[in-house]
Amino acid sequence: MRWMVWLLVAFAAAVGLALLMRFNHGNVAILWPPYRIEVSVNLALVVLAATFAALHLVLIGTARALGLPQRVRDYRARRQHDAAVGALRDSVLAFFEGRLARVERFAQAAQSNATTAGPAALIAARSAQRMQEVARRDRWLRDAQADPGTANALLMTQAELAVEDRRTGEAIEIVEKLHEKGARHIVSLRTALRAYEQAER
């Protein structure tokens, strides 16, 4: 519909221009010693309009050509981000499906983006804990420390894993650090309770 409106406007402009030029009998003289060029006003207007349109198109083309590398970088960054988000989603689904070996593989793919690296490392650490792979679990927890946005989630995960491993003193220390930061919610309180029960406190 919009192109029809623009077509009508173009036709109206062409008719108006034709009527205007019909009654215009003036000349334009261009003096460039030793040359003298004399053309009609109508031709001069057409040449000016064509020159303006050509210059406009050249400038647009140049701007797009100069901006092409940035657009390519943005496109690659978007693709990388989408792939990392998809890998994180697959990692979470694999975790709840019980396919623990696949969780770490998908989590590794999600490490390519800063926004998904922390959560992916935490879910992979949980998976490694279930498989009793302590070294891999600790490596994933170290990777999660690089993302400041997962600080509370990392502490909560470390506390729960410490309780599961019956590392009571470490669990209590982590929970208290979590509560000092104001993260007093039902799961952290239950984890604290389990840790204190293990310590017989």
Over 70: is that where the pLDDT of 186 sits? yes
pTM of the shown model:
0.64
The radius of gyration of the chain from alpha carbons, rounded to an integer in Å, stands at: 35
Confidence of residue 55 (pLDDT cuts 50, 70, 90): very high
Model confidence pLDDT, tens digit, residues 68-118:
888 888 889 899 889 999 999 999 999 898 888 898 899 888 888 888 888
Task: For residues 118 and 88, give the distance between their C-alpha atoms in angstroms, rounded to a whole number.
Answer: 10
Model confidence pLDDT, tens digit, residues 19-41:
666 666 677 777 778 877 777 77
Q: Structural domain boundaries of the chain? A: 39-69, 84-132, 147-201
Peptide bond into 34 cis (omega under 30): yes
- Token digits of residue 137: 């679990």
Residue 153 one-letter amino acid: A
Share of the chain above pLDDT 90, in %: 9
Model confidence pLDDT, tens digit, residues 120-163:
998 999 898 888 888 888 898 888 888 888 888 888 888 888 88
**Dihedrals φ, ψ of 28, to 5°?**
-120, 125
Of 135, 69, 48, 179, nearest to 196 by C-alpha is: 179
Task: For residues 130 and 132, give the distance between their C-alpha atoms in angstroms, rounded to a whole number.
Answer: 5
State residue 22's pLDDT score: 64
